[in-house]
Structure 1
Amino acid sequence: MTFITETHKHTLGLVLIVVTALILGTIPAAIKEAIASLSPATQFAIRFTIAAIILTPFLRNLNVKLVRDGAMLGVLLFGVFATATIGLETISANQASFIFGLNMVFVTLFELLFRKRISMRALLAVILAFTGIGVMSWKSGESAIGNLWLLSSALSDAAYIIVLEVFSPNHSPIPLVTIQLWVVAVLGLLWAAPELTQHIETIQASLGVLIYLSVVATVLVLLFQTLAQQWISAHEVALFLALEPVFGAIFAFLLLGETFSVRSFIGAVIVLVGISLILIPAKIDESDSQPPQLQESTVRDGTPLKGEVLLGVLNNEREIEELF
């Protein structure tokens, strides 16, 4: 009989974050397609309203702490996606992916600041990352404005990742995600209210991409990340989400036919170097990182300890219930 140990949870958390990075890589291309016919506000409002409705039947065991924490995360999440959607009006999907990848730099910087451990390596990584963005956006002022929106999105996402690491262990994933989605949906509907009725026919024509953005790129991404961050650290999330710009560039090419100019390619490489510089060494050098400890239900030397079979079964059933 197999038990879900802390080691298994840690591995599953890493797998979920890699899948999350893959899905996130499709989002810029999907949003570009949606806002080709819909306004950013309308696309945003419909996307998150559908996502919130999907999870509402699973919303249970409400309490003040759950609503408070979910609302705080929802406001941060609104900042993440609203600024990214606006920015994608003026820059390409592949470029947006690399700029959004700076959220990994911000996560590590926040952690270093909180621990008062700012290193020269971290400062160099930030300089490289922002230099890369400057190279990518040199060609036009319009693109630079889009880059600023994406930078705001990356900063908001870094804050979201860190706050989620604090809140997620205290709540069941599905109710926490549902509260977040309703907060984002309500804010999105307020944003889109002046123009929503003008896009009824266009919404119907774009229903396919809107459903993808709602179900896969919103519901699944938030569930995967919320569940994963119960088992892995914010730094590990940042490390593996650094794959998102690469996936984003691939999907932008496959779905939209976008390619990098020489300048944009050079800038993207500089950004990746900056991200790698701050993340990989920090993971290796992190002195307070400890290997996951196994639960009492762990099998030792191939033989379950006395009473551990029953404990393992009860733990597994409890973990399934706690999703809801």
Structure 2
Amino acid sequence: MLKKKLIQDGKSINSDVSLLKDDIFLNTEPATAKGTKNEIRSNRKKSFFSKRPLWRRILFASKKVKGIILLNVIALVYASNIPVLKEVEAVTDPAVFTVVRFASSAIPFIPFVLRARDDVQTRTAGLELGVWVSLGYLMQAIGLLTSDAGRASFISLFTVIIVPLLDGLLGATIPAHTWFGVTMSVLGVTMLESSGSPPCVGDLWNFFSAVFFGIHMLRTEHISRNTKKENVFAILGYEVCIVAIFSIIWYLIGGWFSSDPGWDPGSWTWTLSWDWILEFPWIPALYTGIFSTGLCLWAEMAAMRDVSATETAIIYGLEPLWGAGFAWFLLGERWGVIGWIGAALVL
């Protein structure tokens, strides 16, 4: 009997403990759920009130976002180049202007070049980039002698197509939408050529300019990601110095075959020299040299450490839009309806 009673008492204790556990569980579950709801509401309030202003989100964004923003600014500056060059070529010799432009862009980088003169890798990288960008600038300057500034801006958009195509030739996979973009660009440029002034040989030179700028973009991506930050200014120094040397050679070759007696330095007097200094467009030369060449090349290399060449080319696709706007307001160039449709297809 005693044993039976002990067993019954044990069962009763176990039952009470089980009921106590259930009661604790049932009482705490609503509190936990209630606490979870309160935490969610609190987090929502925090996320609402902790939204940072736009300027803070830009300044403290990731490196890639900063690079994309920087490249958009560069596209705007590059677009302003073409109307400026087009206007300047009407008042001065393009070869002389090019020499002054690129000499002014090279001077600030000379100390970095001298400091890295024994670094073979840095020197080779800078010389290569200098050759590609020099050919691009040279073709652009020649093309603008006969081509409209607005049309030149849109033809430069071929860089957007050339970069992924060249990347594909080097082993990358070319997606189907890239080929669709090629088709739309060809159709758009064809319609663009049928609007405004008639087609000219300058359009072909501008196309070659886009090709060389595309190669330069691919090589900049590769070199910037394999270069130490402290060597960037030295590479840029070699690059802009090569551009300046190319412009001087172009000027000398043009003067050698020129029949203009004013090219002979022996015919210059102090009066002529002073008049030339006063009449030369120094502000456009310094703007296109220091700002849109030296500073933009540095910003481009810094941004492309985190942004790919293909993404950069797509961002630069906005350049024709800005270029057409500058040509519209500054130069008074106008297109027909077909030209605008073609421009839209290119974009």
Q: State the TM-score, normalized to the length of structure 2.
A: 0.71
Query: How far apart, in 1, do the equivalents of 2:175 and 2:70 lie?
Result: 30
Structure 1 residue 189: Cα displacement: 0.1
Q: After superposition, where does 1:13-52 map in structure 2 within 5 Å?
A: 13-52=67-106
Query: How far apart, in 2, do the equivalents of 1:96 and 1:254 lie?
Result: 16
With over 3 angstroms needed to count, the CA separation of the structure-2 counterparts of 1:47 and 1:203, relative to structure 1, is farther
- Give unmatched runs, 5+ long, in structure 1: 273-324
Structure 1 residue 58: Cα displacement: 3.8
Q: After superposition, where does 1:23-102 map in structure 2 within 5 Å?
A: 23-59=77-113, 60-62=115-117, 63-102=119-158
- 2:312 is matched with which residue? 237
Query: How far apart, in 2, do the equivalents of 1:65 and 1:245 lie?
Result: 35
Structure 1 residue 144: Cα displacement: 3.2
Q: Are the counterparts in 1 of residues 195 and 336 from structure 2 also a CA contact under 8 Å?
A: no
With over 3 angstroms needed to count, the CA separation of the structure-2 counterparts of 1:243 and 1:118, relative to structure 1, is same
Q: Are the counterparts in 1 of residues 140 and 209 from structure 2 also a CA contact under 8 Å?
A: yes
Letter in 1 for 2:90: A
Structure 1 residue 7: Cα displacement: 6.5
Any idea what SS the aligned residue of 1:230 has?
Answer: coil
Structure 1 residue 139: Cα displacement: 5.8
With over 3 angstroms needed to count, the CA separation of the structure-2 counterparts of 1:176 and 1:232, relative to structure 1, is same
**Aligned residue pairs, count:** 269
Q: Are the counterparts in 2 of residues 97 and 244 from structure 1 also a CA contact under 8 Å?
A: yes
Q: Are the counterparts in 1 of residues 83 and 327 from structure 2 also a CA contact under 8 Å?
A: yes
Q: Are the counterparts in 2 of residues 90 and 142 from structure 1 also a CA contact under 8 Å?
A: no
1:220 aligns with 2:288: no
Query: How far apart, in 2, do the equivalents of 1:116 and 1:207 lie?
Result: 44
Q: After superposition, where does 1:1-324 map in structure 2 within 5 Å?
A: 8-59=62-113, 60-62=115-117, 63-115=119-171, 117-138=173-194, 143-169=199-225, 170-171=227-228, 172-193=231-252, 194-195=254-255, 198=263, 201-202=275-276, 204-205=278-279, 206-272=281-347
Q: Are the counterparts in 2 of residues 95 and 268 from structure 1 also a CA contact under 8 Å?
A: no
After superposition, what is the alpha-carbon deviation per residue over 1:54-81, rounded to whole angstroms, capped at 9, x for unaligned?
2223432331111111111100001111
With over 3 angstroms needed to count, the CA separation of the structure-2 counterparts of 1:204 and 1:168, relative to structure 1, is farther
Q: Are the counterparts in 2 of residues 136 and 268 from structure 1 also a CA contact under 8 Å?
A: yes
| RMSD across aligned positions (CA) | 2.5
Q: Are the counterparts in 2 of residues 137 and 144 from structure 1 also a CA contact under 8 Å?
A: no
